[in-house]
Amino acid sequence: MLELGGASKKSISTQIALSSSQARAVYLIKLEGPLDTPKKVQIAGGLMKTPDQLQGTGDDGDARFCQIDGTTKLAVEQWCSRQDHNAVFVRITKAYKELSDDSIYPTLGKDATLPQNRSQDAHLVKTSLNDFLPAQQQYPVWYFFYGTLAEIPRLKSVLSLDEGSDPILYPACLTGGKLQTWGGGKYNALVDAPYGECVEGSAYQVITEEHEIFLRLYETDAYEIVRCDISIGNEVVPGCTFRFIGQID
């Protein structure tokens, strides 16, 4: 199974400006021709580290890939144009996740640039284990769901759970956002609303990174993962949810 983790950061920039969503888009590049090893992809894309090799299936059977972001893809395309090579890219549409270690960014309904929301000593070890949670690689982690993911049959299917292993959802709500729609009213869109009312939904504890990846692929790159405070009964827990990043209706 392909591991769809974060892409390596680039050490150089390109001349063509990309939007933030274009730059952080996720692609697989097929290893073949002059780009037949991860090291060659690193050099062509100007990456600081060699990307991991992934095994998959292509049109001609088994194939090898590397995962890169949109900025790296642009650099590789420019390199390929000088080498007369056509690289094969596969777009992976999954929700973006990049939780900062040094601030609350990104948090639903809160501005991470305000001083009270940033670490005053980012270069020092944090003194509190409760700073800026959940962490990027923290599991298990609470998630707030709304819409189809708050339905047990759909969530069970998305997570590929075994028969008889129904997910446990808890009635929950959060503040800092509001629900709107996109796609002509077809899909729910949670967006920032700092002074909005409580949004009702369900809380679920995601146990593994693999299950989180399933959820990110289901939501697609129309959404991003953000931190939020989830109210479950009389308890408030730090968790994550999916915030819409496109154009609402």
Per-residue pLDDT of the chain (249 residues; tens, 9 = 90+): 444 444 444 444 445 778 887 888 889 999 999 999 999 999 999 999 999 898 876 566 788 999 999 999 999 999 999 999 999 999 989 999 999 988 899 999 998 887 766 665 555 444 444 578 999 999 999 999 998 999 999 999 999 998 888 999 999 999 999 999 998 988 889 999 988 779 999 999 999 999 999 999 999 999 999 999 999 999 999 999 999 998 898
H-state helical runs in 32-174:
38-45, 70-83, 152-158
Q: What pLDDT score does 105 carry?
A: 92
- Closest of 89, 70, 93 to residue 23, by C-alpha: 70
pTM, full prediction: 0.77
Cis-peptide, bond into residue 115, ω within 30° of zero: no
Q: In the 8-state DSSP scheme, what is residue 156? A: H
Q: ∠ CA(75), CA(246), CA(91), 5° rounding? A: 40
Q: d(Cα 82, Cα 165) in Å, to the nearest integer?
A: 53
In 3D space, the residue among 133, 106, 101 whose CA is nearest the CA of residue 20 turns out to be: 106
Tokens of 59: 């049109």
pLDDT of res. 145: 97
Could you tell me how many residues make up the chain?
249
Is residue 97 within 8 A of residue 105, CB to CB? The reply is no
Which structural domains are found in the chain, ordered by start? 20-92 (no CATH), 115-244 (3.10.490.10)
Question: Using an 8 Å Cβ cutoff, are 82 and 89 in contact?
Answer: no
Cβ atoms 152, 161 nearer than 8 A: no
Tell me the pairing of strands 141-145 and 235-244: parallel
Closest listed residue to residue 176, CA positions, set 107, 245, 109:
109
